[in-house]
């Protein structure tokens, strides 16, 4: 079969040019489609990252509440510990005086009477206790002082006065004594 091309040369060039334009347009459409695909892919990734950021922000907001709760708990714990120390100190001081009175009471002899026991001053190692009382003789007072000296927690014994008095109630004379000593906190 014989083919005869009756089309002028100009039309032939236009057809070739049209084919090139079509090919360039087709390549342009493919490039634009690829770019649109990349844009959609990037937007999807951005949306995922933003969702993760929102999730992390929500978690950090909930953690801020928990951190605040922990801080408040620590403040309450500190306050509790301070109060506990105060109560423990008061209980120790309360039991300390029971211990002091028990120790002194054990040393009192049958022929003597304590009139008063008072705290004179407080020192670093203990408290200074002042005792006053009466006895039937100076020997009893001396024996009481010796008993005080044998106690490990009693030191710095000072005798302010030992004097004979005549009480109006009694027919015999009594010996008045005033003794101070340091009662240590620990042995």
For residues 180-185, give the mean pLDDT: 87
Q: What is the pLDDT of residue 93?
A: 73
In the sheet with 112-122, reading across from the earlier edge strand, the strands are 112-122, 126-135, 174-184, 154-165
Q: What is the pLDDT of residue 131?
A: 93
pLDDT band at 13 (very low <50, low <70, confident <90, very high): confident
Cross-strand partners of 159 = 179
Give the C-alpha distances (Å, rounded to integers) separating 106 from 53, 87, 157, 160: 77, 29, 17, 22
Distance CA(115)–CA(142), nearest Å, equals 17
Distance CA(164)–CA(161), nearest Å, equals 10
pLDDT band at 23 (very low <50, low <70, confident <90, very high): very high
pLDDT band at 166 (very low <50, low <70, confident <90, very high): confident
Residue 79 has pLDDT above 90, yes or no: yes
Q: In terms of CATH architecture, what is 108-184?
A: 2-Layer Sandwich (3.30)
Q: What is the pLDDT of residue 50?
A: 95
Token pair of 53 as six digits? 């950021």
Domain ranges of the chain: 108-184
Q: What is the pLDDT of residue 168?
A: 58
Q: What percent of the chain has pLDDT over 70?
A: 92
Distance CA(48)–CA(43), nearest Å, equals 9
Contacts of 7 (CB under 8 A, 6+ apart): 15
Distance CA(145)–CA(19), nearest Å, equals 131
Q: What pLDDT, in 10s, does the model give residues 144-157?
A: 999 998 888 888 88
Residue 8 has pLDDT above 80, yes or no: no
Q: What pLDDT, in 10s, does the model give residues 45-77?
A: 999 999 999 998 888 888 888 888 889 999 999
Q: What pLDDT, in 10s, does the model give residues 167-180?
A: 656 567 888 999 99
Distance CA(66)–CA(82), nearest Å, equals 24
């Amino acid at each position: 079969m014989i083919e005869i091309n009756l089309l002028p040369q100009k039309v032939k060039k236009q057809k070739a040019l049209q084919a090139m334009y079509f090919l360039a347009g087709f390549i342009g459409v493919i490039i634009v489609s690829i770019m649109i695909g990349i844009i959609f892919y990037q937007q999807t990734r951005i949306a995922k990252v933003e969702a993760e950021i929102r999730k992390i922000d929500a978690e950090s907001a909930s953690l801020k509440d928990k951190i605040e709760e922990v801080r408040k708990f620590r403040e309450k714990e500190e306050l509790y510990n301070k109060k506990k120390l105060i109560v423990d100190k008061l209980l120790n001081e309360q039991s300390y005086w029971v211990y002091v009175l028990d120790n002194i009471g054990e040393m009192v002899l049958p022929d003597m009477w304590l009139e008063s026991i008072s705290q004179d001053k407080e020192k670093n190692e203990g408290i200074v206790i002042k005792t006053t009382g009466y006895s039937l003789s100076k020997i009893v007072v001396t024996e009481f002082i010796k008993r005080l000296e044998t106690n490990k927690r009693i030191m710095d014994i000072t005798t302010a006065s030992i004097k004979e008095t005549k009480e109006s109630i009694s027919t015999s004379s009594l010996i008045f004594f005033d003794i101070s000593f340091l009662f240590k906190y620990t042995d």
